[in-house]
């Protein structure tokens, strides 16, 4: 018989998007004695970075009737379901997709009931016509959403323990009955639980796991985590250690990133534009308009040799970005067609450091600064300029509007990598977020949510449904806690 230092009905591991919602629902709706364990000194995880979260047929969509874009409509649940399934090339798991879609509207109502105020429901990339208008944006975005939820969880009676990493699952007769953790003083703590919900945010900050599982294993070191550095896959490993199965565990949500910069940096915004992109040999390799879908773009970049790419532009293009803004936006981080007024200063400062941006008065000078073979790079630039002059790209068929020539000195290069928003495949779960073992059976007492749960995606993060990761985090946390409460009360 396992012994414990303390006992709860429900233990939730991780206090980000999924975990905080799970703790709130467990304590409030389920009336469960709930503990929320957080490894970091503060709560919130990646939830505080998010802009919008996805939902279908929500009260906010219904109240607005039409999105603020001509020719668009708010998607039905069926459209949402089909988009996930189709986008994944039928690799997503129907029961997980069904839950994510069907339960999403109630998630919005719950957040509203807690005082969250939604400002708009829209797409993310204004120039991206294939997106569904699923992203719900609230006042204060993810930061406010977390404040509202964590307060509600505390008010409902959940005990929140920060600096308290979970280390292992405690199993008795095949059922999860608790968690071995470490308290804020580093002391071992055994917590009994009738159910455990894993919400550790995946393994985006664990380079060994990226090397082991991700599709970019060879370039894992070049990937740059943007997710919290505490998202190291502990919870995934805890489940694997007791026989959990995986589902598309290697899938990552990536975004192009200027190394060392954050998503809001103007240098990053410039490097993400569909200018000339070359690999580390100085050769062009893709239709750069892939930038329109940041997940695809970053996948392409992360697959290059060394996991790096260089965005090349001349002074005229820099001036264009300063005066007219981006050709491609990135939500609130890089606003579409909003003048990048500080670009020259930021770029010059970054070039002076010479680590991820370079500036030179000649093409050959730029090649030497970055480390390309000057002759190869000169040939690439000459060919690209020819294509720009003709308004035709016979190599990759890029839209002629984005064939900006490289003619006017000085010339610039920005090194881009795959930035990790999070890992988005991991443990195999059913539609109630119960973890499934390698024997195909549910592991009793164990749930996985948010980025710890696989099933919504195939081999790529779906940007066609904006707000997907945090929408799924919220809804999966809710569904898991509700199911746990039902089981515990029986
Ligand atoms: C910069 C950025 C912008 C983003 N923008 C959006 C957006 O606009 N829309 C969208 O849908 N998604 C967005 N995302 C993704 C979204 O933030 C995540 O998908 C979501 O937060 C995942 O929720 P989660 O609960 O699974 O993990 P998280 O919210 O990251 O929470 C995981 C928590 O678990 C804790 N933890 C880990 N291991 C342990 C352990 N052993 N013991 C205790 N605690 C542990 C971590 O410290 C962390 O606090 C963005 C991500 C980033 C990084």
pLDDT computed for residue 127 by the predictor: 67
> Is the same domain home to 15 and 83?
yes
Confirm or reject: Cβ of 421 under 6 Å from ligand 1.
Answer: yes
DSSP secondary structure code for residue 438 in this structure: T
Distance 469 CA to ligand 1 centre (A): 9
Ligand 1 atom 48: residue of nearest CA: 45
Number of domains in the chain: 2
Q: Are 275 and 235 in contact (CB under 8 A)?
A: no
> Is the same domain home to 407 and 462?
no
Residue 419 is inside which H or E element, if any?
Answer: strand 411-423
Where helices occur in 253-405 by DSSP H, the ranges are 266-271, 294-302, 315-324, 343-353, 363-370, 374-390
Distance CA(381)–CA(369), nearest Å, equals: 16
pLDDT computed for residue 254 by the predictor: 96
Distance CA(142)–CA(423), nearest Å, equals: 18
> Is the same domain home to 394 and 354?
yes
Confirm or reject: Cβ of 231 under 6 Å from ligand 1.
Answer: yes
Q: Is residue 447 part of a domain?
A: yes
pLDDT computed for residue 250 by the predictor: 94
> Is the same domain home to 402 and 270?
yes
pLDDT computed for residue 269 by the predictor: 94
> Is the same domain home to 342 and 443?
no
| Residue whose CB lies within 8 A of the most ligand 1 atoms, among 12, 13, 14, for a mutation test | 14
Distance CA(222)–CA(134), nearest Å, equals: 32
pTM value is 0.96
Q: Which residue's entry shows tokens 């589902």?
A: 247
Confirm or reject: Cβ of 363 under 6 Å from ligand 1.
Answer: no
From 364, 394, 420, give the residue that closes a domain: 420
Cα dihedral sign, 133-15-93-256: positive
Q: Tens of pLDDT along 155-171?
A: 999 999 999 999 999 99
Q: Which residue's entry shows tokens 């970055």?
A: 370
> Is the same domain home to 81 and 70?
yes
Index of the ligand 1 atom closest to the CA of residue 51? 8
Q: Is residue 328 part of a domain?
A: yes
Q: Is residue 1 part of a domain?
A: no
Confirm or reject: Cβ of 199 under 6 Å from ligand 1.
Answer: yes
Give the chain's mean pLDDT: 96
> Is the same domain home to 289 and 319?
yes
Q: Is residue 58 part of a domain?
A: yes
> Is the same domain home to 29 and 177?
yes
pLDDT computed for residue 225 by the predictor: 96
Index of the ligand 1 atom closest to the CA of residue 54? 11
Distance 430 CA to ligand 1 centre (A): 21
For residue 121, give the nearest of 112, 45, 95, 266 by alpha carbon. 112
Confirm or reject: Cβ of 228 under 6 Å from ligand 1.
Answer: yes
Mean pLDDT on 340-344? 96
Q: Is residue 192 part of a domain?
A: yes
Range of the domain at 158: 6-251+424-489
CATH value at residue 166: 3.50.50.60
User: 168-177, 207-216, 327-336, 417-426: which has the minimum mean pLDDT?
Assistant: 327-336
Distance 50 CA to ligand 1 centre (A): 9
**pLDDT of 361 above 80:** yes
Q: Is residue 231 part of a domain?
A: yes
Index of the ligand 1 atom closest to the CA of residue 141? 8
From 391, 420, 449, give the residue that closes a domain: 420
Q: Tens of pLDDT along 372-394?
A: 999 999 999 999 999 999 999 99
Q: Is residue 315 part of a domain?
A: yes
Residue 69 — very low, low, confident or very high, per pLDDT cuts 50/70/90? confident
pLDDT computed for residue 67 by the predictor: 86
> Is the same domain home to 265 and 236?
no
Q: Tens of pLDDT along 78-119?
A: 999 999 999 999 999 999 999 999 999 999 999 999 999 999
For residue 249, give the nearest of 79, 445, 438 by alpha carbon. 438
Residue 334 — very low, low, confident or very high, per pLDDT cuts 50/70/90? confident
Looking at the chain, the whole-number percentage of residues with pLDDT higher than 70 is 100
Distance 340 CA to ligand 1 centre (A): 29
Confirm or reject: Cβ of 451 under 6 Å from ligand 1.
Answer: yes
Ligand 1 atom 29: residue of nearest CA: 16
Ligand 1 atom 31: residue of nearest CA: 16
Q: Are 280 and 304 in contact (CB under 8 A)?
A: yes
> Is the same domain home to 129 and 267?
no
> Is the same domain home to 277 and 208?
no
> Is the same domain home to 27 and 88?
yes
Confirm or reject: Cβ of 45 under 6 Å from ligand 1.
Answer: yes
Residue 10 is inside which H or E element, if any?
Answer: strand 10-13
Confirm or reject: Cβ of 57 under 6 Å from ligand 1.
Answer: no
Residues 6+ apart with CB under 8 A from 229: 205
pLDDT computed for residue 479 by the predictor: 98
Q: Is residue 304 part of a domain?
A: yes
Q: Which residue's entry shows tokens 């159910």?
A: 195
pLDDT computed for residue 50 by the predictor: 93
Secondary structure of 145-212 as H, E, C letters: HHHHHHHHHHHCCCEEECCCCEEEEEEECCEEEEEEEECCCCCEEEEECCEEEECCCCCCCCHHHHHH
Q: Which residue's entry shows tokens 């740059």?
A: 224
Residue 332 — very low, low, confident or very high, per pLDDT cuts 50/70/90? confident
Q: Tens of pLDDT along 215-261?
A: 899 999 999 999 999 999 999 999 999 999 999 999 999 999 998 89
Index of the ligand 1 atom closest to the CA of residue 201? 27
**pLDDT of 148 above 90:** yes
Residue 451 — very low, low, confident or very high, per pLDDT cuts 50/70/90? very high
| Residue whose CB lies within 8 A of the most ligand 1 atoms, among 123, 168, 201, 233, for a mutation test | 201
CATH value at residue 332: 3.90.700.10
From 375, 391, 420, give the residue that closes a domain: 420
Distance 472 CA to ligand 1 centre (A): 11
**pLDDT of 19 above 90:** yes
């Amino acid at each position: 018989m396992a012994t414990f230092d303390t006992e709860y009905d429900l233990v939730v591991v991780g206090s980000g998007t999924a975990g905080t919602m799970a703790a709130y629902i467990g304590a409030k709706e389920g009336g469960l004695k709930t503990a929320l364990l957080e490894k970091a000194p503060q709560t919130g995880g990646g939830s505080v970075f998010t802009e919008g979260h996805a939902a279908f047929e929500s009260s906010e969509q219904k109240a607005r009737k039409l999105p603020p874009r001509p020719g668009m409509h708010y998607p039905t649940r069926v459209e949402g379901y089909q988009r996930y399934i189709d986008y994944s090339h039928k690799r997503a798991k129907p029961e997980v997709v069904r839950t994510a879609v069907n339960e999403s509207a109630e998630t919005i109502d719950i957040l509203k009931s807690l005082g969250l105020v939604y400002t708009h429901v829209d797409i993310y990339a204004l120039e991206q016509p294939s997106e569904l208008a699923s992203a719900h944006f609230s006042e204060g975005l993810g930061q406010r959403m977390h404040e509202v939820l964590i307060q509600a969880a505390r008010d409902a009676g959940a005990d929140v323990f920060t600096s308290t990493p979970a280390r292992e699952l405690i199993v008795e007769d095949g059922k999860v009955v608790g968690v071995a953790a470490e308290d804020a003083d580093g002391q071992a703590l055994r917590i009994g639980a009738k159910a455990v919900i894993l919400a550790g945010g995946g393994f985006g900050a664990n380079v060994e796991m990226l090397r082991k599982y991700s599709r970019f294993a060879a370039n894992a070191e070049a990937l740059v985590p943007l997710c919290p550095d505490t998202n190291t896959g502990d919870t995934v490993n805890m489940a694997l250690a007791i026989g959990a199965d995986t589902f598309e565990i290697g899938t990552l949500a990536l975004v192009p990133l200027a190394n060392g910069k954050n998503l809001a940096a103007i240098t990053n915004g410039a490097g993400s534009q569909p200018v000339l992109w070359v690999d580390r040999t100085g050769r062009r390799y893709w239709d750069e308009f892939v930038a329109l879908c940041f997940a695809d773009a970053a996948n392409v970049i992360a697959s290059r040799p060394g996991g790096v790419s260089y965005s090349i532009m001349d002074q005229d293009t820099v001036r264009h970005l300063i005066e007219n803004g981006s050709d491609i936006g990135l939500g609130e981080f890089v606003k579409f067609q909003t003048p990048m007024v500080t670009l020259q200063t930021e770029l010059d400062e970054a070039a002076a450091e010479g680590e991820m941006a370079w500036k030179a008065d000649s093409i050959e000078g730029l090649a030497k600064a970055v480390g390309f073979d000057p002759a190869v790079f000169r040939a690439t630039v000459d060919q690209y300029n020819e294509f720009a002059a003709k308004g035709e790209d016979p190599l990759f068929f890029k839209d002629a509007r984005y064939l900006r020539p490289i003619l006017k000195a000085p010339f610039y290069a920005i090194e881009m990598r795959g930035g990790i928003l999070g890992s988005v495949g991991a443990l195999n779960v059913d539609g109630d977020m119960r973890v499934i073992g390698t024997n195909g059976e549910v592991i009793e007492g164990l749930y996985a949510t948010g980025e710890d749960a696989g099933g919504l995606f195939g081999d790529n993060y779906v940007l066609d449904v904006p707000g997907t990761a945090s929408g799924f985090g919220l809804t999966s946390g809710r569904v898991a806690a509700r199911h746990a409460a039902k089981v515990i009360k029986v």
